Amino acid sequence: MNTLAGKQIIEKKIIPSAELTGVLPTCKVAIQGFEGSFHQEAARVFFGKAVEVICCTTFREVVKIAGNKKESDGGVMAIENSIAGSILPNYNLLQKSNLTIVGEVYLQIRQNLMVNPGVQLEDIREVHSHPMAIQQCFGFLDKYNWKLVETEDTALSAKNIHQHHSKHIAAIASKLAAEIYQLNMIAPNIHTLKNNYTRFLILQREEAPVEIDGADKASINFHTDHSKGSLAKVLTKIAETGINLSKLQSFPIPGSDWKYSFHADVEFEGREQFFTMIRAIEKLTEALKIYGVYKKGK
């Protein structure tokens, strides 16, 4: 633990990534959505196919269960999408939690039209999925006169048509959902924009410090005083250390007089470079918290 001017700068224990999962005989993480969701795909990318998931209906529930060592080993939470942008409420959940970021996954979102075995394209009358998934596939869906039904979850839509043996209803969901619910992907990759990625954070409870081998990225939160140019001074210090600022997100501080806190993602070549930057900017901030020092996702 490093303490800088009364601020605790803490590094955390991590859950090993996929290539190290042999260290943990079992791994159970909380995700938002049902089995077959993109959150489960992201969990498998990081931890491997053997990972168990606890399906949650809300991100708030994900954070709650991920923070309880009796229920899980951590959680997986979407934080931003290359098309829709940042999921701002999730930053707030992270800030108020006892969780730390131990990794990230960039998952390409591939939407697929799936049906029960034997159903043909001409048999389809309705297509069910989450509103965002439907919007992502309008280029394909506009070719047909199908009724589009919005649901709460892509994977749940797939589960429902499987359970009800639907002969005239299709779902839009992930390839994993088709595998789990034994559905045929009658039209794969129907999303209009192919370069669509969601970034997922891998979260674990705050525990004893353990260094992450090869760490080259960190997420921090800070706020400055209300003086002129205070934010610019912080950003200048970050640039002077040669660190790449890959994301900066502002949030109003509740109850303050137009003050803001800032979430920053930074990329660096080595840990000492990062902590040199931390020592430089902590003098310019009123509060500074490290959410995690981890390996950059691909």
Residue 255 pLDDT: 80
Residue 26 pLDDT: 58
Q: Does residue 174 fall inside a structural domain?
A: yes
DSSP per-residue codes, 86-141: E-HHHHHHHHHSSEEEEEEEEEE---EEEE-TT--GGG--EEEE-HHHHHHTHHHH
Total domains, the chain = 3
Q: Are residues 60 and 201 in the same domain?
A: yes
**Number of Cβ within a 10 Å radius of residue 232:** 11
Residue 258 pLDDT: 79
Q: pTM for this structure?
A: 0.88
Token reading at 60? 């708030």
Q: Are residues 265 and 249 in the same domain?
A: yes
Q: Are residues 97 and 24 in the same domain?
A: yes
Q: Are residues 96 and 118 in the same domain?
A: no
Q: Domain with 57 in it: what CATH number? A: 3.40.190.10
Q: Are residues 62 and 85 in the same domain?
A: yes
| Per-run averaged pLDDT (10 residues), the chain, 298 residues | 41 40 63 96 95 96 94 95 92 92 96 97 97 95 97 96 97 97 97 94 79 91 89 95 95 83 95 95 93 93
Residue 11 pLDDT: 41
Residue 210 pLDDT: 66
Q: Are residues 48 and 104 in the same domain?
A: yes
Residue 277: give the domain boundaries. 214-298
Q: Does residue 97 fall inside a structural domain?
A: yes
Residue 24 pLDDT: 44
Residue 35 pLDDT: 96
Q: Does residue 4 fall inside a structural domain?
A: no
Q: Does residue 20 fall inside a structural domain?
A: yes
Q: Are residues 18 and 86 in the same domain?
A: yes
Q: Are residues 201 and 72 in the same domain?
A: yes
Q: Does residue 1 fall inside a structural domain?
A: no
